[in-house]
């Protein structure tokens, strides 16, 4: 029986189109840059103040001078924090609200298969194809899967995925998940990375805020940021930088197989006759 905890619908999830998510992420970038510029300006102000204090107290012994500079800078930091508090708070609140909204929409972008089925939902052509291939055999289904992958035919792909869903796993002539990945894999990875990036940028703003106000960030938050960066790198929606020179290019690993390549490879493996047992 299906696990209810895994199949229960999240009816409170916000709906955002892919362009809505991109626009929200762009706004997060803008706010994060504004916040960062504000904090950088304050840090520059503190640095200049330190230099002025150290210069004016040059004739005092180092121990007393350091104590006086530290106290004076603490007071100046507090004053700068008080003056910019409302502006920084407004930016971080908007950042958090945007990230929370994107996070809520994550339920609609769990997998390429989910995105494929939703995109073709109610499509008359998909329904007609489903009727036509209802009794198709593995060879025809495999051939149609190759055609769908090659032409990026979403309606055909959705109909085929629905058709093989009712077949026994070892009788399916192609991997439905790989076919869905051909159609929506790239977009799914882009939006998945956007979700992680939105959360990271909010945490970075909060970390910068705390570091500015107290002179010390949160170690736990720093770990969270590092883990999110690692997750972004694993998703790799934006690709790796190109090799710097020809030598690096020669040493670069071979290109990763595309979803279409995996479809073809999988079909070939299923068609290949089983090896005869050795005596």
One domain, residues 56 and 101:
yes
One domain, residues 53 and 97:
yes
Tens of pLDDT, residue by residue over 239-262, are 543 333 444 434 444 444 555 565
One domain, residues 163 and 33:
no
One domain, residues 55 and 146:
no
One domain, residues 102 and 125:
no
Phi, psi for residue 278 in degrees, rounded to 5: -80, 150
Query: 275: alpha, beta or left, given left = phi > 0 and alpha = psi -120 to 50?
Result: beta
- Residue 248 pLDDT: 42
* Verdict on whether the full-model pTM lies above 0.85: no
SS3 of residue 103 by DSSP? helix
- Residue 36 pLDDT: 92
One domain, residues 23 and 100:
yes
One domain, residues 222 and 169:
no
Q: What's the pLDDT band for 1 if we cut at 50, 70, 90?
A: very low
Tens of pLDDT, residue by residue over 31-49, are 999 999 999 888 888 888 8
Which residues span the domain enclosing 44? 18-109+188-238
Domain boundary among 184, 203, 229: 184
* Contact present, 210 and 224 (Cβ < 8 Å): no
With a cut of 80, say whether residue 273 has pLDDT above it.
Answer: no
SS3 of residue 37 by DSSP? helix
- CB-count exposure of residue 100 (10 Å: 0-12, 13-18, 19+): middle
């Amino acid at each position: 029986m299906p696990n209810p905890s895994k199949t229960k619908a999240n009816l409170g999830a916000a709906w955002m189109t892919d362009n809505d998510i991109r626009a929200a992420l762009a706004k997060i970038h803008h706010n994060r840059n504004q916040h960062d510029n504000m904090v950088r300006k304050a840090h520059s102000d503190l640095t200049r103040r330190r230099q002025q204090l150290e210069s004016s107290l040059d004739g005092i012994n180092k121990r007393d001078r350091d104590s006086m500079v530290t106290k004076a800078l603490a007071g100046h930091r507090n004053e700068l924090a008080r003056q910019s508090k409302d502006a920084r708070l407004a930016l971080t609140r908007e950042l958090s609200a945007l990230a929370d909204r994107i996070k809520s929409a994550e339920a609609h972008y769990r997998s390429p298969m989910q995105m494929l089925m939703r995109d073709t939902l109610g499509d008359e052509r998909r329904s007609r194809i489903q009727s036509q291939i209802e009794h198709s055999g593995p060879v025809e289904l495999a051939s149609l899967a190759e055609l769908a992958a090659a032409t990026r035919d979403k309606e055909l792909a959705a109909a085929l995925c629905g058709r093989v869903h009712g077949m026994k796993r070892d009788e399916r002539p192609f991997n439905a998940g790989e076919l869905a990945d051909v159609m929506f894999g790239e977009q799914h990875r882009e939006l998945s990375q956007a979700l992680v990036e939105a959360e990271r940028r909010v945490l970075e703003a909060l970390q910068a805020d705390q570091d500015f106000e107290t002179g010390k960030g949160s170690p736990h938050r720093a770990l969270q940021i590092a883990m999110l960066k690692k997750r972004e790198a694993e998703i790799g929606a934006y690709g790796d930088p190109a090799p710097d020179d020809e030598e690096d290019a020669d040493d670069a690993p071979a290109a990763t197989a595309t979803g279409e390549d995996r479809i073809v490879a999988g079909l070939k493996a299923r068609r290949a006759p089983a090896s005869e047992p050795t005596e």
